[in-house]
Structure 1
């Protein structure tokens, strides 16, 4: 049995606690709340993160006490503000790895592919800590971490020649509650002249440069470089969404592309199309339903593949988060047994779940869904 601690008390961490308590191959021995986001959760039962039934483990703010229990692995589900992410997360991961505690998680999403040129500053730092403690770090998720890299690589095993590959995320963002991310990172609800984080030169590469490098390396090519596109469209009517009000005449839809250049041509493209209302930007890519990941391969043969989280549009958001979480949780036994270092999905076998037929947990309801801290 693998002894696990969970770091964070938001959506991903709550799902991790729920799922691991239902499995006999894990023993959750502690849950930690970061001081900046703990709120009133310290001292409460971890079972109350996702339901009404206590599980007998109290959430603590004392990480050293949890580390003294000698866990085999830590699940990192923290989502600090972007301007503090590295400041908070890097020392935390270093501390765990140096102490010999393996780490899996969804934080530091750029590390889905540690070998990416965009990670040349942090990968050596974390590798040193991992080797010192004889531990491993594995970061994953649904995108990046699966749809635009691991799943795409699997599809490309069917290719003879490839002209271009494109992955698309087509999602409504009207149910996403984080006002800071919605406004200042993406630009929703802001005047057309406002330049959000996502439009800044090179900013998209933090998250989507690594999966592009993953595919280029998997195919045996060196990237010439990257470029990016950011577009926006206004809403003519006021919209009331989870993050607040989107005034008429402000940005109601955004589309951006992160592009990998090979041999002087656009070859690997990750495209995001996000709207606050279904009728906005009708000329942009559409999908049969909200919550679609689409893979398009031009070549011999031409291929397309669509992946839908959830049963329907209503459950897509939450069940997409379950997928994000399980990409890491299912990997825990494999990471614990893996070589020391900073790993990616090519370093591991298929991280299939254990005891997957043990129950029928359909349409789970998580208390506090949307709180990502």
Structure 2
């Protein structure tokens, strides 16, 4: 089974050709879930480009309707859309561009009543609003749920942008004393192109994170000037006295309650990816078959480019296996493997009964310089709960 449908393959060709994205990166985007708060000047370019890029699940929340004064900067909307809910119109436009993704709209404002449920389901949040109250709400919720979020704001000819990570400086570290009389676009105006420019930077920041969630994300505030098209960046430091993110026993206890395991029925590469890739059954099988299909259909080609490895005992392997070589985990495991597979560019798919031995084996191989190592999370015990996946393996 292919990772992408024929339509998706056509839609994302220019992405997949990029070395920085490729098949695995595009598959991460396909499995990503994003919450976009606000469908105004920033939200319009954000949702269009995230949707066009192939982000699999996008939720747009905005309680406002399109007005004529929006149209000079919110170019996603038409004159005939005046009076319609922004979130609904934006959702329809995104789906018209890319029918292969899921886009949902919520035509109410983000609030304390709905924020926890919405944020708990997503990989990253984008703040496309124009008020500090919502940003404070987002900051608190994202810290509590350990979610990254991209802040952006525009006014006049100036814009700001920052990616706030759970372990970095937070919004309150940067803005400890919030202004009470700051102007907004409605009262001070904004150059029509500025939200588009900053919104694109916001979408790009989101894509960079989704494609490389383990990269070192330096905490920086980016300041954009529409007057001279210059961007300058300020390094941000976490405030040990911050009311929102300063370490505390209460915060640690609250976080412990939020640590829940990911459902294997909703596998997401981004969530599973740690120091190495531990993939749930669905993604493990899809990735293995994808490598086989891409590298060639002959047995010799499969053996050359992809290795399926059972690290259980020979008796366990003889009793039942899903194919591949049997190389029991032992003290000389890496030496024996290297003697057979010296080339470190191969894709290595490892399984055992419960996932424990395969994860240990994957860690050992990764430490030896093998970069494409995948462990079957939950092992055969979990895989056998999905008969159709086993059939796919046997057919592939």
TM above 0.5, yes or no, is no
Structure with greater contact order relative to length (CA < 8 Å, sep ≥ 6): 1
Structure having the higher strand fraction is 1
Provide the TM-score with structure 2 as the length reference: 0.29
Whichever of the two has the greater Rg, that structure is 2
TM-score by length of 1: 0.30
